Amino acid sequence: MKVGVLTGGGDCPGLNAVIRAVVRRTMAKYGGSVIGYRFGWAGVVDVNTMDLGLDEVSGILPRGGTILGTSRTNPFRTEGGPEAIQEEFARRKLDGMIAVGGEDTLGVAYRLWKEHGLPVVGVPKTIDNDISGTDFTFGFDTALHIATEAIDRLHTTAESHNRVVVVEVMGRTTGWIAVKAGIAGGADLILIPEIPFTLEEVCGTIRSRHARGKNFSIIVVAEGCEFPREAEQGEDRGVVVSQAGTDEFGHVRLGGIANELAKVIQAGTGFETRVSVLGYIQRGGTPTAFDRVLGTRFGVEAADLVHGQHFGKMVSIQGDKVIPIEMGHAMETVKRVDTELYEVARTFFG
Ligand code: F6P
């Protein structure tokens, strides 16, 4: 059995656990071999590979990032991209390709299977935890721990200076990191893309908190929230971007909403306000035990799916069971934070 593996999209802790598991399972259980494709789908189009054996995956379990490298390459945006991938599958006589990625990388995998009949299996990863059909993606737990620790640290400095601190976390169009880190860190207000807010509500929450004797506040805001530019009417909303243009999958680069909010809060409440944007720190470094275990379980299952020729599937975790699901189903919608969870968070606002 000859298996290809690639990692695409933003990196996250736990990718190396998957790669290691794919290699170990394929070699030990099926006597097969694994070839790694470098920098996501770009490595298949350009035939940029590395052999993956026991030596290559030794010692990588606790390492963040991905030994294969990654990119946000969309082969469907490149002339002849899908055809080049088809040729590589045939030339290399691949029995299957394991694509480890978020909605973009898996969306490509799904189209290659659906439209070109290529034997592809998906493994969902992202710190954003926004992929449908799976309770968790690996990388999320690590990001959550990092964001929670940051909020803990910001508490002590905010309290010492009587300041409001606005903490901006990642998550793209969903608020999973924000809501869970905010609950875990005891945030005084959490703003997520799923729940629109007005600037008057934000300032009002801080004013009432300070009125009950608190001299500092921690506000967690997800990068993908729409900023209400006309506070009273709630009109003219839009995400805040850190750079013009879009990537190959049509995504804008989010970032900067905390700065916009801080200006409004300081002007609207009179309290000194500071900003902390956590950014890529949330994606870097060693994975938590949870993410190592999840990545390992996903990698083992993905190798089994290739061996069983169950293509067009994505591995998922539901409860404590690893279950293969239709990749197409997972690609249909983004998994958003439910109101019930947000209501729990809301209990502690102000
Ligand atoms: O999808 C993971 C993620 O970290 C998002 O939370 C964030 O918006 C985006 O990637 C940043 O992408 P890039 O690495 O291209 O700047």
For the domain that residue 297 is a member of, what is the CATH number?
3.40.50.450
Residue with tokens 């608190």: 214
Nearest CA-CA partner of 188 in 345, 349, 347: 349
pTM (2 decimals)? 0.96
The CATH number assigned to the domain holding 153 equals 3.40.50.460
The pLDDT of residue 208: 96
Q: What gap in Å lies between CA 101 and CA 107, rounded to an integer?
A: 9
Q: Within this chain, do residues 164 and 259 fall inside the same structural domain, yes or no?
A: yes
Q: To test ligand 1's pocket by mutation, which of 170, 242, 243 has the most ligand atoms within 8 angstroms of CB?
A: 170
Q: Within this chain, do residues 45 and 128 fall inside the same structural domain, yes or no?
A: yes
User: Taken in order 320, 326, 331, 335, is the CA torsion positive or negative?
Assistant: negative
Q: Within this chain, do residues 62 and 135 fall inside the same structural domain, yes or no?
A: yes
Q: Within this chain, do residues 169 and 251 fall inside the same structural domain, yes or no?
A: yes
**Distance from Cα 172 to the centre of ligand 1, integer Å:** 7
Q: To test ligand 1's pocket by mutation, which of 12, 146, 172 has the most ligand atoms within 8 angstroms of CB?
A: 172
Nearest CA-CA partner of 270 in 316, 319, 203: 203
The pLDDT of residue 234: 54
Which range of residues forms the domain containing residue 148?
A: 141-283
Q: Within this chain, do residues 135 and 17 fall inside the same structural domain, yes or no?
A: yes
Rg for the chain, CA atoms, rounded:
22
Sheet holding 33-37, edge to edge: 49-52, 33-37, 2-7, 96-101, 120-124, 313-318, 321-326
**Distance from Cα 310 to the centre of ligand 1, integer Å:** 30
Active site positions, annotated: 128
- Number of Cβ within 10 Å of residue 116's Cβ equals 13
Q: What gap in Å lies between CA 191 and CA 262, rounded to an integer?
A: 13
**Distance from Cα 242 to the centre of ligand 1, integer Å:** 12
Q: What gap in Å lies between CA 219 and CA 204, rounded to an integer?
A: 13
Average pLDDT over residues 42-68: 98
The pLDDT of residue 237: 83
Closest atom of ligand 1 to CA, residue 254: 8
**Distance from Cα 280 to the centre of ligand 1, integer Å:** 8
Q: Within this chain, do residues 257 and 304 fall inside the same structural domain, yes or no?
A: no
Q: What gap in Å lies between CA 110 and CA 113, rounded to an integer?
A: 5
Q: Within this chain, do residues 65 and 32 fall inside the same structural domain, yes or no?
A: yes
- Ligand 1 — pocket residues by CB below 6 A? 10, 72, 102, 126-128, 170-172, 223, 253-254, 283
Closest atom of ligand 1 to CA, residue 283: 4
% pLDDT > 90, the chain: 96
The residue nearest atom 16 of ligand 1, judged by CA position, is 253
Q: What gap in Å lies between CA 122 and CA 107, rounded to an integer?
A: 9
Q: Within this chain, do residues 229 and 250 fall inside the same structural domain, yes or no?
A: yes
Let me know if residue 345 belongs to a domain: no
Q: Within this chain, do residues 274 and 300 fall inside the same structural domain, yes or no?
A: no
Q: Within this chain, do residues 119 and 218 fall inside the same structural domain, yes or no?
A: no
The residue nearest atom 10 of ligand 1, judged by CA position, is 10
**Distance from Cα 28 to the centre of ligand 1, integer Å:** 35
Q: Within this chain, do residues 38 and 132 fall inside the same structural domain, yes or no?
A: yes
Nearest CA-CA partner of 311 in 327, 333, 295: 327
**Distance from Cα 206 to the centre of ligand 1, integer Å:** 30
Closest atom of ligand 1 to CA, residue 170: 6
Closest atom of ligand 1 to CA, residue 127: 2
Let me know if residue 338 belongs to a domain: no
Closest atom of ligand 1 to CA, residue 102: 1
Is 335's pLDDT higher than 90?
Answer: yes
The pLDDT of residue 229: 78
Let me know if residue 348 belongs to a domain: no
Q: To test ligand 1's pocket by mutation, which of 15, 104, 128 has the most ligand atoms within 8 angstroms of CB?
A: 128
Rounded mean pLDDT of the chain?
A: 96
* 232-259 pLDDT tens trace: 555 578 999 999 999 999 999 999 999 9
Q: How many structural domains is the chain composed of? A: 2
* 264-310 pLDDT tens trace: 999 999 999 999 999 999 999 999 999 999 999 999 999 999 999 99
- Number of Cβ within 10 Å of residue 349's Cβ equals 17
